[in-house]
Amino acid sequence: MSYPFKTEEKNENEVDQIGVTTILKYIKDINIKDKWIYDKTENTFISFLHFYKENELKYIFDIRSFDNRNFANSFQLLKLLRLIINEFKNESIKNFVGDTNIESVQLKYLDKNIKKQMEIHKYLS
């Protein structure tokens, strides 16, 4: 992937911000293209939060002081599950703003086999 900016024309902070924005847009494009990838991204975010919430080393990593909103934004989640919002009563997670133009139910599976498996799994659940 080529970057749409020249580093010598901008100061270091501007380059960093443009680079971060470009990477986040790239991640969002990947998530939107395939619902399977989006589901995996969402599960990864939830697993991370649960692991650090339940760990024994709270003095090393305190989940209450963690900025969940920016972390969720780094995953480019469209919305947070109500389960996560209720479980983590952290102000930073309540302020999360995802992409309101796209709903996760609108995303499509690229692989037909995975789509069939998910439909069967949904039917059996």
pLDDT at 11: 58
pLDDT at 36: 92
In a domain, 2, yes or no: no
In a domain, 92, yes or no: yes
**CA dist list (Å): 72 to 19, 96, 120:** 18, 8, 29
For 103, the domain range is: 7-124
Q: How far apart are CA 61 and CA 3, in angstroms?
A: 34
For helices 68-75 and 35-53, angle between their N-to-C axes, nearest 10 degrees: 150
pLDDT at 13: 60
What would the pLDDT profile of 75-85 be if each residue is shown by its tens digit?
A: 888 877 666 66
What would the pLDDT profile of 17-56 be if each residue is shown by its tens digit?
A: 778 888 888 888 888 899 999 889 988 988 888 887 777 7
In a domain, 78, yes or no: yes
In a domain, 91, yes or no: yes
Share of the chain above pLDDT 70, in %: 70
